[in-house]
Structure 1
C-alpha cells in the first residue's frame, strides 16, 4: 500500500478480522424490511443485502475508504485505501494495513448485522496478523497484542471470550491468532441443508525485503491526471499484466480490480470463478462457485512488504502428477505452482506462509508435551524475548530439511498465550500425512528450487482447524574463495 510520502515508515503487515454469523451462506435468515437493505435482488441475501453507504460509514471508523467495488455472484470485493473488505452472505473479511483501527469497526459491524440483517449472534470470529514492523506507531487496541486480545475478549465476554495464540519465534517473525469457538446460530437460520460441516480455507504469503527489481515497478511517480481514479486503475491493470499477476490464476476465470497509488504502492482484489468440472481442484464446499485473492504491496526500501491471500482450495498434487488439462480449459494452479508464481513476482528476502484450514474430522489433540502457557507480553517485550514459541526447523545450506511433528495446543483459560512444543512420539506413527503436511511439502518444493531455505516449520491443531506455518529466507550467496586461502 502507498503512503502519502516517503518520510515516515509505512506498516505493510495487515490486521485481518473475519466474522462469521452462520456456518453457511444458505443458513442466513430472510432479508429484513429495513431501509439500509436492498430487496428482491438475486444473490443479495444476508450481509450482501446491506447497502454500500452503511459499510462506508463503518470503514470511516476504521480510518479507510472505498476505492472501488467488484460485485460477484457470491462475494462483494471492496478495494480500500488501506487494503480490502470482502462481504459474503454469512461472513465478512476486513483486512487493513498501516495505522488503521481495524478492531474499532467490530462493534459497528455487529450492530449492522443485527439491525439490518437480523443476525444477532456471532458464530465464529477470527483475528490474525503478522508481527508489526513498527508497533510503536499503532494506536487504540492495536498498540500491542495483549491489548487487542483484551479488547476482543471484552466484546465476546458473554459467550466465553476466545483463545489467543502466538505461532513462530517471538523474537523474530511470528503470526498471531485470536479465535472464538462456534456458538449456536440464531434460531431462524436454516441449518438442515448442509451436513458436511463448514469448510474454510485460507492461504497467505507474507513477504518482506523485496528485491530492488521487484520493488521498482510499484513506484508510480506522478501519474498524469491522477486525481481521476480511473488513471490509477488503468495503470494498475497494465502493471498487473506486465508482472504476471494476471497469470496467477487463469485470466478467463478471474475478475481483477487493481489500483496503483501515488507515489508508490499497489493493491488488488480478484474474484475467481471456480469451474465445477475442473478435476485439478479438490472438493469445494457446498454451493461455492467463487473465491477471491488479494494482493497489497508497500515497495519502499527499509520496510518493503507484499502480501497475498486466497481462499480458493488448491490441490497439493503438483502439475506433473495432476489429471490432464481438458482441451480449451485453463487449469487452476496447484499449491506449489501458486507459491512459485507469487514469489516470482515479488522476490522476497524473507517470507512466512500460512495455510489455515477447517478440519471437522481431524483427530483429537494428542498427548503432547507442551510448554507452560504464559501471560501476555507487550509487543516490545516479545521482540526482546529470547524464548521461542515454535518448532524451529532450520536447514543449513545444503542439508535436507528436518521434518517437524504436528503439535496440539494446550487447553488454557482465555487471556493466556498458547505455545507449541515438540511431541515425544513420532508424528508419522500418530497421523498419516494429511493436508497440512502435504502443504508443507508443497511450500518446501516450491521455494527450495528458487534459492530459499526454510527457517521455521510448525503444524498446529486448533478447535476444528489445522494450521501449516512456515518461514523461509533467501540463501545468501557465498563470496568466491580467495586463492591461497
Structure 2
C-alpha cells in the first residue's frame, strides 16, 4: 500500500499543528493519558452489514490470515493506515500482538487496540489524541462502510502539567468543544471528583450518532462511503456480555517501586527495549497478573526510564464470538512514568471478572483473579501514595426490551460496582477519600480515590522549584 491510496486529510485552522511539533516536549513527561474509544457497533455480532459494493474503491484491505480467513470490520484496515493516523497524533508503533479478536499495538506513547467493531486509542505525554478522531472516522467509512458511530468515549485524569499540552488538549473546555463539533448535541461532558485534587474527566455520546466532520463536503468522493443499502435494525439487541472497563490511575509512587523502571546506560545499550520490558515484567510479577497460558504479553522498557505493556487475554474480547466453549477474554495495558515529583502508573483492563470469590456474575474462570484481588495486586506492584479507580460497566440499554435478557439488570450492576470499592478495598494502609457514582444511558460508573495514610501531597511550587 502507498500513501497515495489514502490521501491526507485537509488541515483546518482550529486544529493545525506544525509538522515539526515534537512527540513529547522537553522537560517533565506527562504520564496521565488521554483515552479515546470509538465504537461502531455494540458488539461483534451486531456489526453493520455493509455490502462490498458500497465501500470505497481502490483501497487495499489487510492481507487475509494464514488460514485464508478474512479480517472483519476495522481489523481489515492495514497497519500502514493506522500508522498514518498515528502520525497525526504524534506517536509511533513499536510492536503488534494479533489476538483472535483484537489487535494490540504498543506505541511510543501508550497503546492502540483495534477490534472489528471498536477502536481504543490511549496516548500520554503531549500527544494530540483527539486529532486522530477525524481520521479514524474517515478510515471506518472507507474500509468498512461505517457511517454512524455507535458510541464515543473520551476520558482522562487531570494533568500534572496542563500548560505543556498542545491543541485542543490545553483545556478540558477546548476538548469538549472539539468533540461537540463532531457529535453535536449527542455528547455530554462530566467532571468526576474534586476539582482541586485528582479528578477524572469524561465525555460520552448517546448511541448511534452520525458524526459531522468539518470538511466532509471537501473530501474526495472516493473517501466517503455510500450508506448501506439495507435499512438498519429497528432496535439494537441486548449484548450477551457485559462491557466492563477498570482503570487504576496511580501517582506519587514509592521510591522502591519506581527503581525497577530506571535503566543504566549500559543496560539500554546492550538490551533491546522489548527484552528489557520482559525482564521488568517477570521481576515485578506483571506477567502473572493473569494465567500465563492464556496471556500474550508485549512489553517495552524505555531509555533511560519508563515502561509500557499490552496483554491480550484469551481471545481478546469479552464475548469470544467464534470460539465455542471458550470464556471471554480481553486486554490489559500498563504505562509507567517513574520520575520523582510526577511519577505515575496506569493500569486498564476489560476482562470480565467477578467482584469477589463468592460472586456468580460474571462466572469465575480458573486461574483468573477476582476484580478486587486484581486491584490489590496492581497497587502492590506500583505502591502509589494516591490513586483513583474507575469502573465503567454496561447495563441494559434503554429501549432494548426485556431487562432479564441482559447479563445483569441495571440495579444489580450498580450495586455490585458500588460495593466493589469499599473502605477496606486496599487494607489499613490506605484511606478512601471519595466514592462517586453515575448512571448514564446504558452504563454505570463508580469512581473512588484512595490515599496512603499520613501522606502529604507535594506543593506545586516545590515541584516547580525542582524543575528549575
TM-score range, shorter chain: 0.7 to 0.9
Residue number in structure 1 paired with 2:345: 306
Q: Deviations over 1:356-403 (max 9, x none)?
A: 01112689xxxxxxxxxxxxxxxxxxxxxxxxxxxxxxxxxxxxxxxx
The 1:461–1:286 alpha-carbon spacing in structure 2 relative to 1, beyond 3 Å, is: farther
Mapped to 1, the partners of 2:387 and 2:310 lie a distance apart of 21
What SS does the corresponding residue of 2:347 show, helix, strand or coil? strand
Say if 2:380 is the partner of 1:344.
yes
Residue number in structure 1 paired with 2:451: 473
Residue number in structure 2 paired with 1:21: 40
Residue number in structure 2 paired with 1:359: 395
Mapped to 2, the partners of 1:290 and 1:57 lie a distance apart of 29
Q: Which has the higher helix share?
A: 2
Runs of 4+ residues deviating >6 angstroms: 3-7
Say if 2:27 is the partner of 1:8.
yes
Match of 1:88 among 115, 119, 123: 115
Say if 2:264 is the partner of 1:237.
no
Q: CA-atom RMSD, angstroms?
A: 3.3
Residue number in structure 1 paired with 2:336: 297
Residue number in structure 2 paired with 1:196: 238
Report which stretch shifted further, 256-265 or 17-26.
Answer: 17-26
Mapped to 1, the partners of 2:232 and 2:387 lie a distance apart of 41
Match of 1:315 among 354, 368, 371: 354
Task: Quote the offset at 1:176 in angstroms.
Answer: 0.5
Aligned 1:363-378 pairs, distance under 5 A: none
What SS does the corresponding residue of 1:293 show, helix, strand or coil? strand
Q: Deviations over 1:11-55 (max 9, x none)?
A: 100000000111222324366564331254426111000000000
Residue number in structure 2 paired with 1:35: 59
Task: Quote the offset at 1:184 in angstroms.
Answer: 6.5
The 1:317–1:445 alpha-carbon spacing in structure 2 relative to 1, beyond 3 Å, is: farther
Mapped to 2, the partners of 1:25 and 1:453 lie a distance apart of 40
The 1:274–1:119 alpha-carbon spacing in structure 2 relative to 1, beyond 3 Å, is: closer
Mapped to 2, the partners of 1:222 and 1:6 lie a distance apart of 22
Match of 1:98 among 125, 129, 132: 125
Aligned 1:154-193 pairs, distance under 5 A: 154-157=181-184, 160-183=185-208, 187=228, 188=230
Which structure's relative contact order is higher, taking Cα pairs within 8 Å and 6+ residues apart? 1
Say if 2:103 is the partner of 1:76.
yes
Aligned 1:266-281 pairs, distance under 5 A: 266-273=307-314
Aligned 1:54-133 pairs, distance under 5 A: 54-133=81-160
Mapped to 1, the partners of 2:316 and 2:207 lie a distance apart of 30
Residue number in structure 1 paired with 2:263: 220
The 1:180–1:211 alpha-carbon spacing in structure 2 relative to 1, beyond 3 Å, is: same
Gaps of 5+ in 2: 1-21, 211-226, 400-408, 457-468
Is the contact between residue 70 and residue 77 of structure 1 (CA under 8 Å) also seen in structure 2? yes
Is the contact between residue 328 and residue 352 of structure 2 (CA under 8 Å) also seen in structure 1? no
The 1:446–1:113 alpha-carbon spacing in structure 2 relative to 1, beyond 3 Å, is: farther
Residue number in structure 1 paired with 2:15: none
Mapped to 1, the partners of 2:128 and 2:455 lie a distance apart of 41
The 1:154–1:362 alpha-carbon spacing in structure 2 relative to 1, beyond 3 Å, is: closer
Is the contact between residue 319 and residue 329 of structure 2 (CA under 8 Å) also seen in structure 1? no
Is the contact between residue 395 and residue 413 of structure 2 (CA under 8 Å) also seen in structure 1? no
Is the contact between residue 5 and residue 263 of structure 1 (CA under 8 Å) also seen in structure 2? no
The 1:257–1:193 alpha-carbon spacing in structure 2 relative to 1, beyond 3 Å, is: farther
Mapped to 1, the partners of 2:373 and 2:95 lie a distance apart of 29
After TM superposition, the score normalised by the length of structure 1 is 0.74
How many residues in Structure 1 have an aligned counterpart in Structure 2? 396
Mapped to 2, the partners of 1:457 and 1:21 lie a distance apart of 31
What SS does the corresponding residue of 1:8 show, helix, strand or coil? coil
Mapped to 2, the partners of 1:215 and 1:296 lie a distance apart of 12
